[in-house]
Amino acid sequence: MPVSMIWPLTRKTFGLRQARTVNKVQLPCPATGRRTMNPVISVMQKGFACYRKALVVMLISLSLVACSSSKDPELALIYSPAAKHQAPDRNPIIIIPGILGSKLVDRQSGTVLWGAFDVKFANPNNPDDLRLLALPIPTDGDQLPVEKGQIEPDGVLDRIKFRILGIPVQLQAYANILSTLGAGGYRDESLGLMGQIDYGSNHFTCFQFDYDWRLDNAANAKRLHEFIVKKRVEIQRQHKEIYGIENSDVKFDIAAHSMGALLTRYFLRYGSQELTEEAPPELTWEGAKYVERVIIIAPPNAGSIEALDHLINGQHIGRPVLPFYPAALLGTYPSLYQLMPRNRHQRVFWNQDTSRPVADIYDPDLWQKMHWGLGSPEQDDILATLMPDVDDPLLRLAYARRLQSRLLKRATLFHAALDRPGNPPESLELFLVSGDAEPTPATLTIESKTGKVKILSKEPGDGVVLRQSSLLDERTGGEWQPRLRSPLKFEQVLFLPNDHLGLTKSKTFRDNVLYWLLEKPRLSR
């Protein structure tokens, strides 16, 4: 638009009136910065001249910004040739969501425990639903809580549905990852079997690993091992039918988000080995023989302060839309303890004094002394609902504290298994995507007299996971040095200015992920 057309519109914008004179006005000129003093100055004659100059400068600046602004890449155009390439040398991919990332359903009643909050869902304010949501608290031994067989995962949560004032609302969850892979020519098994996409006679090359994210991560890693072995046999059969290849050496790529990255790392190191208190699993890299390239997105490799806070205080998952999930409920989930930060990184302090780190946040005696979480006497109403056959409040508390102690211990074993030094096979490549622009809870303070905790400070991250945690930066809590010190060997790291789920919406994310999967040269070929 020419300047002559814009100028009349700017009079109101700059608060100027036509042909108005003022006496003894000092009028600063935006173009020159000079002030003019005259008994009578015509704003229209003199002032407008300065503002015209300023406007021209402004328009030139805007045009330069417009010329230099970035454009989104045409991903379909860039990756179309690679997307069309369907051959045995192209790895199938497995999508592994994080905590809360799989839909959970009661197969008997059809109640959705997690994943839809519009009509029929499990509300923790309802006693029957609370018992469904919780894992059972053992009353006859020291075993871990296991699902009773009534609740099962029902797909990766690509969208979350809920209602606000009766109006249905839908939020994207993992749909962005699935759409990115769709642009890369991957054929998703779940979408195909549900009839959402007709792939014709083409075989599937993308698989969603859904799992009960409440359970122990090592146990879910064992399930992942079984899942991969099964899919590998299926693909080998397809390769024989389509290409005539007998027993093809099928390798998978993996894209894992958040906590899904932790169970993936355990699987890569130990395959289907159990995590026991008697002896640590043997570091064999058993799972790595099935996998070639792994992309971990927003992984809490060094834990998350939020997990500790939620175990102590409970969690408002989606205030005010979703209900409050009490600490005693969340305290039955082994996975949540395994998301706590490491002691060595000194993330928790006494009485806001950063010179007094808490020695061991996994000490059961500390949790009992502070009346935290599952083992708090203040949670007895919840415990009574979860253990309706136990009438004695003290006995309920004893059972709850025994479980809490066991889960804290198991979390330390899980962390030790992940942190054990060991060089991965050369054929395994690890890529990291991390957010570093959102203020993220970094430290926690404990009031020693009351046991109350609150966030003390924030640092760069994605709003949930710190940059330091994604990198597993071992400089944290120790002597600083200029170079990253991490036991993880990354092939490439991508930092993005997005939040925990927003990372996957980024065009930069999509572009890089498709390049890593489709075009980046591989060590094995």
| Every domain of the chain and the residues it spans | 3-62
Residues 376-396 have pLDDT tens digits of: 999 999 999 999 999 999 999
What end-to-end distance do the CA atoms of the chain give, in Å?
55
Collapsing DSSP to helix, strand or coil, 25 comes out as coil
- Copy the structure tokens of residue 229: 């072995």
What is the predicted pLDDT for the residue at 257? 95
Between CA 315 and CA 324 the distance in angstroms is 6
Expressed in percent and rounded to 5, the helix, strand and coil fractions of the chain are 40, 20, 40
Query: Which residues sit opposite 138 in a β-bridge?
Result: none
Torsion angle of alpha carbons 419, 422, 427, 428, nearest 10°?
0
Q: What is the mean pLDDT of the chain?
A: 84
Residue 235: how many other CB atoms lie within 10 Å: 20
Checking if the pLDDT of 38 tops 70, the result is no
- This prediction has a pTM of 0.83
> 187 versus 189: which is more confidently predicted?
187
Long-range contacts of 108-114 (CB under 8 A, 24+ apart): 108/150, 113/151, 114/157
Collapsing DSSP to helix, strand or coil, 447 comes out as coil
Among the listed ranges 13-27, 42-56, 339-353, 374-388, which one has the minimum average pLDDT value? 13-27
Between CA 19 and CA 328 the distance in angstroms is 73
Q: Could you tell me which of 271, 379, 278 has the C-alpha nearest to residue 332?
A: 379
Do 383 and 372 touch, CB atoms closer than 8 A? Answer: no
Among the listed ranges 32-36, 366-370, 460-464, which one has the minimum average pLDDT value? 32-36
Checking if the pLDDT of 171 tops 50, the result is no
